[in-house]
């Protein structure tokens, strides 16, 4: 498939230490009703580093059951041991998924050869489509465009979530993309810019809020109505930076609780709830969006 539009990297709601499945159901229904293109559970915004092994597949199954085929789902899949990631990738094949979102291995910091071989091994292990996730500030390694182009030649590597943090690198790829390869921004602040440069869409934590406006920007750009898209983007300008003042997804969870979409803004250590000062600023921004 071609990945495009607004994708939500779902938060994992917690309540009293466990997963709050009722709130998870509510989120799924809410975002489907807002016209998003797809959902990505169990990624960074879903706090996957603190999701236990016996929670990962139940969360995925609950999302897929609630979605019930209404839109595509891509599962977050991370790790720095290629063998274990490949085994989990194989296990995901039995689910009706549109793919797996896979970051560069973290901490062991492979060079470009190791990065390529890691994704190549995953492509060999399973037929599930792969979205490469380039986010160097979390993994310690940037996947260079030359490596991305090599990966795009692999049959199951179908796209990129680009959070490289270098606008020049992003622009170079957007202006000359590999054929039949989706480029989705993961830099929320570059949502409008990326679309205007030919990007296919985005996987955006901030689109948990004011979702219809994010969708509206995508639709307006694709209809060549840049003026309308820019007008919508101006209304979101105060929101996006505020959501990343403190570690994601704690600010998003505060807002979702404030809006009644989840019962608790609970996060798992080492993340902590947001500061009182940020709560006040976010509450003011939310009031301005309504």
CATH number (domain holding residue 177)? 3.20.20.70
Our count of domains for the chain comes to: 1
Q: Which of 161, 213, 218, 253 is catalytic?
A: 161
36: exposed, middle or buried (Cβ count in 10 Å: 0-12, 13-18, 19+): buried
Q: Which of 3, 116, 133, 218 is catalytic?
A: 133
**Residue 187: domain span:** 5-226
CA–CA gap between residue 290 and residue 283 (Å, rounded): 11
Q: What is the pLDDT of residue 37?
A: 98
Task: Give CA separation, 138 vs 170, 266, 267, in Å.
Answer: 17, 22, 18
β-pair type (130-134, 99-103)? parallel
Structure tokens at 169: 């690198």
Q: What is the pLDDT of residue 135?
A: 97
143 falls within a domain = yes
Neighbours of 64 (CB within 10 A): 18
Q: What is the pLDDT of residue 185?
A: 98
Q: What is the pLDDT of residue 1?
A: 77
Q: What is the pLDDT of residue 253?
A: 98
53 falls within a domain = yes
Average pLDDT by stretches of 10, the chain with 290 residues: 95 98 98 98 97 97 98 97 97 98 95 98 97 96 98 98 97 97 98 98 98 98 98 95 97 98 98 98 88
Instruction: Examine the residue annotation and report whether 257 is marked as an active-site residue of this protein.
Output: no
48 falls within a domain = yes
CA–CA gap between residue 20 and residue 23 (Å, rounded): 6
Q: What is the pLDDT of residue 290?
A: 61
Q: What is the pLDDT of residue 81?
A: 97
Structure tokens at 238: 């105060």
Task: Find the length of the chain.
Answer: 290
Q: In this structure, what DSSP letter does residue 73 have?
A: B
H/E segment holding residue 103:
strand 99-103
272 falls within a domain = no
CA–CA gap between residue 34 and residue 46 (Å, rounded): 20
Q: What is the pLDDT of residue 289?
A: 82
Q: In this structure, what DSSP letter does residue 259 have?
A: T
β-pair type (99-103, 5-8)? unpaired
208 falls within a domain = yes
CA–CA gap between residue 161 and residue 44 (Å, rounded): 12
262 falls within a domain = no
290 falls within a domain = no
26 falls within a domain = yes
Nearest to residue 70, comparing CAs of 41, 40, 37, 92? 37
Q: What is the pLDDT of residue 252?
A: 98
Instruction: Examine the residue annotation and report whether 161 is marked as an active-site residue of this protein.
Output: yes
């Amino acid at each position: 498939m071609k990945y495009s539009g607004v994708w939500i990297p779902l938060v994992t709601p917690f309540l009293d230490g466990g997963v709050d499945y009722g709130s998870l159901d509510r989120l799924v229904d809410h975002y489907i009703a807002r016209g998003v293109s797809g959902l990505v559970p169990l990624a960074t915004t879903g706090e996957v580093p603190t999701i236990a092994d016996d929670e990962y597949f139940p969360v995925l199954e609950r999302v897929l059951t609630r979605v019930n085929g209404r839109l595509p789902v891509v599962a977050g899949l991370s790790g720095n041991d290629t063998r274990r990631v490949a085994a989990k990738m194989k296990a995901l094949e039995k689910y009706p998924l549109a793919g797996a979102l896979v970051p560069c291995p973290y901490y062991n910091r492979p060079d470009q050869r190791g990065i390529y071989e890691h994704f190549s091994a995953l492509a060999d292990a399973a037929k599930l489509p792969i979205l490469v996730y380039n986010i160097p500030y979390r993994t310690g390694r940037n996947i260079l465009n030359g490596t991305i182009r090599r990966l795009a030649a692999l049959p199951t590597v179908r796209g990129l979530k680009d959070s490289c943090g270098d606008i020049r690198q992003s622009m170079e790829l957007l202006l000359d993309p590999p054929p039949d390869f989706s480029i989705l921004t993961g830099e929320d602040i570059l949502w409008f810019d990326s679309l205007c440069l030919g990007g296919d869409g985005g996987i955006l934590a901030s689109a948990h809020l004011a979702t219809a406006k994010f969708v509206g920007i995508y639709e307006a750009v694709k209809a060549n109505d840049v003026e309308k898209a820019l007008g919508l983007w101006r209304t979101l300008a105060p929101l996006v930076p505020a959501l990343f003042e403190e570690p994601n997804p704690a600010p998003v969870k505060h807002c979702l609780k404030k809006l009644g979409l989840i019962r608790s803004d609970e996060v798992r250590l080492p993340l902590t709830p947001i500061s009182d000062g940020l709560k006040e600023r976010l509450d003011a921004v939310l009031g301005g969006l309504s």
